[in-house]
């Protein structure tokens, strides 16, 4: 005769179902059925599930409920019936409460929200990598924020930092020899941030960059005139767009990121919690 397993949850019920499958794998049982009931949020629905499970000859009720009222209802119902009910969460929750001295929140679906925040962050990081340094200018159309600036203005590290705050960031290098991608014209100036740096700081950073690459110091890349030309070109582009311009010369990444997030919030851009 078929074994019926009823998984009841006030959230999605994935945890309960996975535990059931893990336990079933320890037995040579082939004739079984898992009935999952998600988002059970009122007593009437819970009562109907209990009645249905009770009518089965071989049934087990497995529940991952956090509402104390619902848990007590299941216990009272099964106390005078033959239905076997297994509470997966309460024993561990009670143990944590006893040892930690903390009180559980009793909110269903919290782990789901935590998982969603994690996956949103991973997605944002993958986005930042894919659309870093203008690799694919189409990314600016999908981005929460677009960072523009000349070389060595911290565009990439800032993009990665903001990605860890659940923001999808694309960054575009501004070079006098290249025209900014036309996709930039289709983005609201509220979502575009310009970065600049002091010429002296840029010389220092670029010379260090050349040294790390084993290249000679006298390259035009780190010359004062080249840097001044780049800054002038970039600021002309930024002023034309009308976006904020942040001087990063004396700012940590975290400080610049806070300025950007504050600007986005004031501009009405939705920011997910990190």
Output the CA torsion sign for 229, 232, 235, 240.
negative
The binding site consists of: 149-156
* CA-based nearest residue to 71, from 91, 52, 56, 57: 91
Distance (Å, whole) CA 2 – CA 33: 7
Alpha carbon separation from 56 to 25, 43, 84, 207 (Å, rounded): 22, 20, 11, 77
* CA-based nearest residue to 83, from 4, 24, 19, 1: 4
The binding site for ADP consists of: 149-156
If DSSP codes are grouped into helix, strand and coil, which group holds residue 163? helix
H-assigned helices in 131-223: 155-163, 199-212
Pairing relationship of beta strands 84-87 and 59-64 according to DSSP bridges: parallel
Distance (Å, whole) CA 270 – CA 231: 31
- 261-266 — which CB contacts under 8 Å span 24+ positions? 261/162, 261/165, 261/167, 263/193, 264/144, 264/145, 264/167, 264/190, 264/191
Residues 65 and 37: beta-carbon distance below 8 Å: no
As given in the structure block, the two tokens for residue 90 are 């309460």
């Amino acid at each position: 005769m078929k074994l019926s397993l009823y998984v009841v949850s006030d959230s999605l019920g994935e945890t309960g179902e996975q535990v059931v499958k893990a336990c079933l794998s320890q037995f040579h049982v082939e004739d079984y059925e898992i009935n999952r009931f998600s988002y059970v949020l009122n007593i009437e629905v819970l009562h109907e599930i209990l009645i249905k499970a009770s009518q089965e000859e071989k049934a087990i009720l497995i529940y991952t409920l956090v509402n104390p009222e619902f848990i007590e209802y299941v216990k009272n119902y099964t106390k005078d019936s033959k239905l076997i009910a297994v509470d997966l969460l309460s024993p561990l929750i009670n143990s944590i409460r006893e040892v930690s001295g903390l009180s559980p929140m009793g909110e269903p679906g919290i782990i789901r929200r935590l998982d969603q925040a994690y996956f949103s962050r991973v997605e944002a990081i993958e986005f930042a990598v894919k659309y870093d340094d203008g690799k694919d200018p189409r990314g600016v159309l999908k981005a929460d924020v677009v960072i523009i600036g000349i070389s060595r203005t911290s565009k990439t590290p800032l993009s990665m930092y903001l990605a860890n705050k659940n923001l999808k960031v694309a960054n575009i290098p501004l070079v006098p020899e290249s025209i900014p991608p036309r996709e930039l014209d289709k983005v609201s100036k509220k979502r575009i941030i310009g970065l600049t740096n002091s010429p002296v700081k840029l010389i220092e950073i670029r010379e260090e960059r050349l040294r790390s690459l084993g290249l000679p110091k006298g390259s035009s890349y780190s010359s004062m005139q080249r840097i001044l030309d780049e800054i002038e070109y970039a600021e002309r582009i930024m002023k034309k767009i009308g976006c904020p311009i942040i001087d990063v010369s004396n700012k940590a990444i975290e400080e610049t990121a806070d300025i950007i997030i504050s600007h986005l919030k004031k501009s009405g851009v939705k920011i997910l919690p990190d």
